[in-house]
């Protein structure tokens, strides 16, 4: 069973789907690992490290002409064309329905497993790439906020006087939001947080932050631990009730996402214009339209003295750890997919396991 690791080609993507540590483990289980030369360099993993553990360095064609292709991001049309008919592909497909790339993959009889389709179950936790990458995003986004905010995050007492702690508001208490809360607290900020799911209040308190409670007349709790979209009436109530809390913030970190839906607007233009100059908004939902309508994806803008950061790939700013986490997610998945106690790894029936059955895409 040959595994191919191509170099990621999306602009700004620095991660790689395999680290030397995981390559060594897979080789020890009977897999052959073929990695495109230079694939790990931007993440801090040179070719020599892969070669040392027994991985085979190859060109782009060699990384795709394999039994199983592992990627971080969705492939391009040219990359799909280079894949072996009837092979396996695992990666973040970043699709909510049929599209031309997915159609092309299924036309080639590829068995396609989307990492974003990983079920939210206890057994699948070690394979959950969305959670591992969101954790890093929440951490790195908070550092971005601290860097761009022109004052201290913690309270500081000096001979020149005292500085009050920054007031940080985190919107969304999922994996990214909870990590943002924890990081901002470690930096000494005064942290408040809001989520439409009422059950998150205790998690917010456990990290030393203060939950913002709003009476919307309905719950935003959805299936699988995700938030669901609120009704139009609840959205209006939410925006009005949140406005005063957000206007007082020095830093806002937004993380609110609804699977396969545009990001909910939580920080309106009117709220931004009420914030004091020098404030910072980090919009982790920028790729899905943003929790602030002023956000511009992949740009940093200023609106009436407020800095709005629309970076869409925070994990790529910490590529070594992001790649290591993702590679471990893949390794744990491969362990349940293959029988490895024989001479050659044997693929199990994908529909017979609840995890791989949920991830397998069978129709465009």
Give me the active site residues, please: 120, 125, 128, 131, 226
Instruction: Please identify which residue in the block is written with the tokens 């800095």.
Output: 307
Burial class (CB in 10 A: 0-12, 13-18, 19+), 186: middle
**What's the rounded Cα separation, in Å, for the pair 35 and 23?**
9
Give the β-pairing of 251-254 and 167-171: parallel
3-state secondary structure of 221: strand
Q: 3-class secondary structure for 173-210?
A: CCHHHHHHHHHHHHCCCEEEEECCCHHHHHHHHHCCCE
Q: How wide is the angle at C-alpha 286 spanned by C-alphas 127 and 326, nearest 5°? A: 20
Sheet holding 300-303, edge to edge: 210-211, 190-194, 167-171, 251-254, 280-283, 306-309, 300-303
């Amino acid at each position: 069973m040959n595994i191919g690791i191509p170099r990621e080609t999306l602009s700004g993507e620095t991660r790689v789907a395999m680290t030397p540590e995981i390559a060594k483990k897979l080789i020890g289980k009977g897999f052959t690992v073929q990695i495109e030369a230079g694939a790990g360099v931007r993440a801090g993993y040179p070719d020599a490290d892969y070669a040392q553990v027994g991985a085979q360095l190859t060109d782009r064609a060699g990384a795709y002409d394999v039994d199983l292709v592992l990627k971080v991001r969705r492939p391009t049309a040219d990359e799909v064309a280079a894949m072996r008919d009837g092979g396996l592909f695992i990666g973040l497909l970043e699709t909510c329905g049929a599209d031309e790339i997915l159609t092309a993959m299924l036309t080639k009889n590829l068995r396609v497993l989307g990492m974003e389709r990983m079920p939210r179950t206890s057994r699948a936790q070690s394979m959950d790439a969305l959670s591992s990458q969101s954790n890093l995003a929440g951490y790195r986004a908070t550092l971005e906020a601290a860097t761009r905010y022109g004052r201290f995050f913690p309270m500081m007492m000096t001979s020149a006087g005292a500085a009050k702690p920054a007031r940080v508001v985190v919107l969304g208490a999922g994996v990214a939001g909870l990590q943002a809360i924890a990081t901002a607290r470690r930096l000494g900020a005064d942290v408040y947080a809001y989520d439409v799911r009422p059950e998150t209040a205790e998690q917010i308190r456990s990290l030393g932050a203060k939950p913002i409670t709003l009476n919307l007349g309905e719950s935003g709790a959805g299936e699988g631990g995700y938030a669901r979209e609120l009704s139009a009436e609840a959205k209006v109530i939410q925006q009005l009730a949140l406005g005063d809390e957000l206007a007082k913030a020095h830093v806002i970190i937004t993380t609110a996402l609804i699977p396969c839906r545009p990001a909910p607007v939580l920080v309106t233009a009117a709220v931004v214009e009420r914030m004091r100059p020098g404030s910072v908004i980090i919009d982790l939902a920028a790729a899905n339209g943003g929790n602030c309508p002023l956000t511009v994806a992949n740009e940093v803008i200023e609106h009436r003295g407020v800095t709005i950061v629309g970076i869409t790939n925070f994990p790529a700013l910490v590529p070594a750890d992001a790649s290591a986490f993702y590679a471990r997610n893949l390794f744990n998945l491969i362990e349940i997919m293959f029988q490895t106690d024989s001479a050659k790894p044997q693929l199990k029936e994908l529909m017979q396991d609840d995890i791989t059955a949920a991830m397998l895409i069978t129709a465009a």
